[in-house]
């Protein structure tokens, strides 16, 4: 694991007892810069300044360094020193990119003069404040008014604002709307969890969409493998950052070109995967439509309902079939997949013969447009309290108009990524 970490102070860390009269003089610092990319334009658009630290030739964690600084009341001095160092050693002054600088909560409480000095130092280094993105940890400040005041003064100096690590700890949407940052960096844990849990992936996609609709760009960081890259690209996040695309290091035009080439390769691979996924999903939906229509034909010919549903119940994700009369009353019990019969938990709602589903969207739409197979929006199904999509269509049996309903667990189909159309 890299020793490069973000320089954000969090309350509650263990303080060091040792006394160091001057933390800055007793440590060696190296500024490194990790590239940030826009996948839509497939180009490098910024760098995040990070630090590697040594003491007497031995690497130490920047987190430990800031804990030591906090114990000696030197956080502001250390933060100011590193900000100046990052600016002076940045090799991308001639490149059309942002430079992301991490600001500790302690720095946010300093007088206005500290921002003015930072803006002046930016100009002396040949980087106007408009190209600087100040990264703040929204959840790390107990004083929202002081944070908002700092942001207001920073914008007056020309700085851009990003919120870092959003989605962890005490992240607050109301405070996020008030800050109105240019960029929101989502905490890496959201992306990591999305790799292993379908519901976490859905939450990540919803969060990206909601933040973008609110007027901020979304940056996903911590992309370290192909699986995470594929998930990140699928969210349509505006900016990406991670070891897979570029590690922290010195800035050069050649390194930037190589990093952009790696990004382009991953975007191309993702497009190919998405195209194949679309083909597979189309084939699934086509077969699903065929099996539903075949079930209707078998029922109309008098085949027993469970036998008529046999092939349909073997399709991925299909869990239950049932029939409603013209009033929405369920006729008999469910035809269901065999594993579905073995209930994990007791549920008095599982047996549903005679239940009335007339109020359900899938019943009403089937009656309104009897020539179509309708797909409901996802909801929590009563028989098993699982996310469910119900497909419905009218069938005719013994001169009666009935509605065939098919319950599907969408999370079990294509990793929960299949978007069911309104009609098949």
Furthest-apart CA atoms within the chain: distance in Å: 93
Give the pLDDT of residue 7.
38
Q: Which of 251, 284, 317 is the last residue of a domain?
A: 251
**What is the model's pLDDT at position 20?**
52
pLDDT at 352: 72
pLDDT at 367: 93
Q: Token pair for residue 48?
A: 């995040």
* Regions of the chain short of the pLDDT cut 50: 1-19
Q: Provide the 8-state DSSP code for 131.
A: G
State how far the Cα of 44 lies from the Cα of 38, in Å rounded to an integer: 6
Residue 73, pLDDT score: 86
The pLDDT, as a whole number, for residue 11 is: 37
> Do 328 and 242 lie in a common domain?
no
Does the residue 17 lie in any domain?
no
Tell if the pTM clears 0.85, that is, is over it.
Answer: no
Query: Domain for residue 97, yes or no?
Result: yes
Q: Phi then psi for 30, rounded to 5 degrees? A: -130, 125
Instruction: Extract the tokens encoding 53.
Output: 């630290």
| Domain span holding position 100 | 28-251
Do 83 and 196 sit in the same domain of this protein? yes
What size, in residues, is the chain?
A: 424
CATH number for the domain that contains residue 202: 3.20.20.450
- DSSP output for 73-126: T-HHHHHHHHHHHHHHH-TTTTSS-EEEEE--HHHHTS-HHHHHHHHHHHHHTT
Are 316 and 380 members of one domain?
A: yes
For position 5, what pLDDT does the model report?
Answer: 37
CATH number (domain holding residue 392): 3.30.450.20
Give the pLDDT confidence of 159-206 residue by residue, as tens digits: 999 999 998 766 778 888 889 999 999 999 999 999 999 889 989 999
> Which residues lie closer than 8 Å to 330 by C-beta, 6 or more apart?
322, 323, 324, 352, 353, 354, 355, 356, 357
pLDDT at position 2: 38
**Residue 268, in any domain of the structure:** no
What is the per-residue pLDDT for 351? 66
Cα separation, 77 vs 371, in Å, equals 73
Q: What total of structural domains would you count in the chain?
A: 2
């Amino acid at each position: 694991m890299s020793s490069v970490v973000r320089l954000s102070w969090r309350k509650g860390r263990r303080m060091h007892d040792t006394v160091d009269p001057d933390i800055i003089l007793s440590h060696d610092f190296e500024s490194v810069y990790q590239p940030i990319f826009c996948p839509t334009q497939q180009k490098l658009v910024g760098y995040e300044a990070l630090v590697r630290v040594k003491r007497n030739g031995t690497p130490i964690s920047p987190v430990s360094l800031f804990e030591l600084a906090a114990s000696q009341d030197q956080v502001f001095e250390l933060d100011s020193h590193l900000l100046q160092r990052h600016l002076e050693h940045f090799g991308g002054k001639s490149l059309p990119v942002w430079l992301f600088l991490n600001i500790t909560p302690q720095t946010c409480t300093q007088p206005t003069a500290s921002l003015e000095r930072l803006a002046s130092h930016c100009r002396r280094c040949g980087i106007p404040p408009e190209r600087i993105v100040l990264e703040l940890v929204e959840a790390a400040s107990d004083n929202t008014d002081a944070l908002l005041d700092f942001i207001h003064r920073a914008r007056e100096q020309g700085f851009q604002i990003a919120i870092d690590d959003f989605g962890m700890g005490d992240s607050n949407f109301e405070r996020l709307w008030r800050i109105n940052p240019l960029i929101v960096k989502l905490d890496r844990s959201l992306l990591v969890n999305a790799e292993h849990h379908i519901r976490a992936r859905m939450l990540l996609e919803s969060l990206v969409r909601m933040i973008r609709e609110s007027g901020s760009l979304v940056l996903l960081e911590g992309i370290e493998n192909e699986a995470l890259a594929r998930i990140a690209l699928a969210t349509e996040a505006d900016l990406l950052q991670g070891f897979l695309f570029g590690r922290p290091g010195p800035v050069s035009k050649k390194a930037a070109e190589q990093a952009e080439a790696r990004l382009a390769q991953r975007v191309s691979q993702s497009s190919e995967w998405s195209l194949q996924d679309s083909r597979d999903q189309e084939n699934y939906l086509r077969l699903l439509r065929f099996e539903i229509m075949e079930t209707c034909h078998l029922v109309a010919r008098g085949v027993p309902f469970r036998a008529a549903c046999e092939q349909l119940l073997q399709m991925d994700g299909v869990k239950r079939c049932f029939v409603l009369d013209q009033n929405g009353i369920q006729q008999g019990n469910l035809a269901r997949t065999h594993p579905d019969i073995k209930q994990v938990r007791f549920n008095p709602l599982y047996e549903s013969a005679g239940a009335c589903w007339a109020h359900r969207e899938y019943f009403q739409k089937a009656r309104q447009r009897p020539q179509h197979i309708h797909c409901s929006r996802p909801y929590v199904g009563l028989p098993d309290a699982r996310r469910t999509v119900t497909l419905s269509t009218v069938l005719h049996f013994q001169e009666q108009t009935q509605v065939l309903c098919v319950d599907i667990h969408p999370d079990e189909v294509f990793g929960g990524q299949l978007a069911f159309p309104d009609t098949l």
